[in-house]
Chains A and B, each alone.
Chain A
Amino acid sequence: MADLISKLEGAVRHRGSKGIAGIWLEEHAFVEAARKTYDAGNKNLEAISPFPLHGIDDAIGIPRSYIPWITFVFGTLGLIFGLWFTWWTSAVDWPINVGGKPMWSLAAFIPIIFECTILFAALSSVGAMIVINGLPKIDPPIIDPDLTSHKFALFIPESAQGYDAGKLEQLFKSLGASEVKRTEF
């Protein structure tokens, strides 16, 4: 049990990696800077912003989210579950004649099946987002508290290929970063 708890804690307690971060104050300049940094060969790049930015996915090569597939699979499972459950309870496990209606009254079960489909699809999508994004995290390191308010940051970890702090600092400055700092994220 203690082992499990420490395992779980290890999963949610995020150990940051050291690296270099540049901070921008204007969103359009930031997206442009992200694109140029990415094109300069820095593929291992995090772009942090207080709200979703138009065009950032293109700029730093993030593919379209694959979550819709998970939604589809679980939605289908919900549909099959609803179909099976209404059939099994009403026609197999304890069939009861209600007003002479068929034991397996498919039309009357559609609302239940529909709600199961929606419920499975919605909860699985949110669950998938939480798992894929590595949430929940306890006290993750943050570069600047204003990154959830009005500032934008690019972060490159030391583990990145061809990491050269001096070069990157110059690159960020030349792209209009208002601040560059070595930090943890």
Chain B
Amino acid sequence: MITREPLVLGNKSLKDVTDDICRIVETVPGSKFWALLLSTKMLFLVYIISQGIIVAVGMGLQGISHPVGWGTDIITFVFWIGIGHAGTLISAILFLFRQKWRMAIARTAEAMTVFAVMVAGTFPVLHTGRPWFAYWLLPYPNQRGPLWVNFRSPLVWDVFAVSTYATVSMVFWYVGLVPDLATIRDRAKNIWRKRIYGALSLGWRGTARNWNHYEMIYMLLAGLSTPLVLSVHSIVSFDFATSMLPGWHTTIFPPYFVAGAIFSGFGMVVTIMCLLRQFIPNFKDYVTMHHMENMNKIIMATGLMVGYAYGSEFFIAWYSGNPYEQYIFVNRAFGPYGWSYWIMVTCNVIIPQLFWMKSIRRSIPAMFVISIFVNIGMWYERFVITVTSLHRDFLPANWGMWHPTWADLSVLFGSFGMFFFIFLLYLRALPAISMAEVKPILGVGKKDQGGH
């Protein structure tokens, strides 16, 4: 008989779950945490200061010029939005598929989504060059006509898609938090803790009638987030695909971008979960090797999908008979930026194949290293798509190279500072595992407790 693996280890009682998960919010963090927090804060400061200098001096500080007008800002925007997608996949799509292992990781994956989208959102605003006019992207009644935004433009679709995605993800995340915030409120000894968490929990009491409506909207939000998340990266891909540029003007882009987004996002979830297990040892009972292995399987499957997309692009370029299209692909792999193409293929297609071996799928150091490679590879995928397509188009007179400057590198690395700084604050302020979702699945995989 095939038995299910237990989802929570260590024979926990309901009270143990509450104690384990609340402890991290209720204790004063140790020196390790402060060291991490301060170092990410330094990196975040690098981000803020370099953004400030770019805004004050001008976009010329970054390497973008003719013909490569889209550089680090757009590459890193697509990268972070893609990271966010795994969180929604875990919280919404796996929920609809009744995958009970999602319960323990959904909260943190969703937090990752929210923070990644926040980081991503800063990049296009910076890229506009005049961020103080960023509100022009929104359609609002104005004294210039009113002159409305051009709804035929994929850039405006992007504004709508990303802002809707950010709003719905935050609401979904917050709704999931409400019962757990009530738990912290009820445990609080300190009056301010009680007041703050009491306000955040909206006075939740957990009657059966409340749960009835709550579960319904949770499912509705999952159902609404699923098409939403697929639409967001499709629309991001339209920014490229609706242009006439060889290498961008392809119909495979929407599914290719979505698969890549899920791939990169799971890479980041595995990175974060490895660190979480390392620094908060009692989370190992909730985020078990079984969870990690499942995520690694998804990384492998989506890695194969992006590998298929890379191959398919080459085939279609040849099959189209279009010399410009053919040239751009040969140039991608063997031109001046060929090295970036092979970094991408190695990191995204070849290295994840190690996960075919069960021992590697279940080894924390191995999966940590592979997940870092996945993150690097997926940044390079966006680099390859953006830069190699732009740098040589139809006319050789328009050819050129893109060289990143210190301003490119500092916003790229600084954005990780912003992400991890907010993430560390979240770990200490909010329950990182959803207690109300983990408690019902304590019996899974344990026959003597009526588990099913």
The reply to whether B220 and A147 form a contact with Cβ atoms under 8 Å apart is: no
Residues of B contacting A139 in the complex (Cβ-Cβ under 8 angstroms): 198, 203
Residues in chain B near residue A67, CB distance under 8 A:
213, 216-217, 220
How many inter-chain residue pairs (CB < 8 Å) link A and B? 198
Q: How many residues of B contact A (CB 8 A)?
A: 65
Query: Do B210 and A148 have beta carbons less than 8 Å apart?
Result: no
> Whole-angstrom distance between the alpha carbons of A56 and B208 in the complex?
7
Q: Which of A122-130, A157-165, A167-175, A176-184 contacts B (4 or more CB under 8 A)?
A: A122-130
Enumerate chain B residues within 8 angstroms of A105, measured Cβ to Cβ. 151-152
Complex Cα spacing A164 to B135, Å = 63
User: Given the known A-B contacts A115-B164, A125-B221, are A149 and B187 also in contact in the complex, defined by CB atoms under 8 Å?
Assistant: yes
Contacts of B227 in A (CB 8 A): 114, 118
B203 & A123 in contact (Cβ 8 Å cutoff): no
> In the complex, which residues of chain A have a beta carbon less than 8 angstroms from the beta carbon of B161?
111, 115
- B132-152 toward A: CB 8 Å interface, digit per residue (1/0)? 000000010000011111111
With a cutoff of 8 Å between Cβ atoms, the chain A residues found around residue B186 in the complex are 142, 145-149
Assembly CA distance A146 to B235 (angstroms): 46
Residues of A within 8 A of B198 (CB): 138-139
- Of chain A, the residue at the smallest CB distance from B235 is A111
Of the candidates B171, B435, B440, which one forms a contact with A122 in the assembled complex, judged by CB atoms under 8 Å apart? B171
B3 within 8 A of A: no
Interchain CA distance A43-B164 in the complex, whole Å: 42
CA distance A150 to B160 in the complex (A): 42
For chain A, the bracket of interface size reads: 35 or more
Does residue B318 face the partner (Cβ distance < 8 Å to A)? no
| Residues A97-138 near B (CB distance < 8 A) | 98-99, 101, 105, 108-109, 111-112, 114-116, 118-119, 121-123, 125-126, 128-130, 132-133, 135-138
> Distance (Å) between the CB of A178 and the closest chain B CB?
14
Q: Is B167 part of the contact surface with A, judged by Cβ < 8 Å?
A: yes
A115 to B: closest C-beta gap in Å: 4
In the complex, the chain B residue whose C-beta lies closest to that of A141 is B205
Q: Considering residues B154, B212, B440, which has the most beta carbons from chain A within 10 angstroms of its beta carbon?
A: B212
Whether B175 is near chain A, meaning CB under 8 Å from some CB there, is: yes
Contacting residues, chain A, for B199 (C-beta < 8 A): 136
Neighbouring A residues of B148 by C-beta, 8 Å = 89-90, 93-94
A60 engages B208 (CB within 8 Å): yes
Which residue among B146, B205, B214, B221 has the maximum number of chain A CB atoms within 10 Å of its CB? B205
Residues of chain A contacted by B154 (CB below 8 angstroms)? 111
In the assembled complex, 12 residue pairs joining A and B whose CB atoms fall closer than 8 Å, in A order, are A12-B203, A50-B14, A51-B206, A67-B213, A89-B139, A94-B148, A118-B224, A122-B220, A125-B220, A136-B202, A140-B203, A142-B186
Q: Return the 6 tightest CB-CB contacts between A and B, nearest first.
A: A137-B203, A150-B14, A65-B216, A89-B148, A136-B202, A145-B186
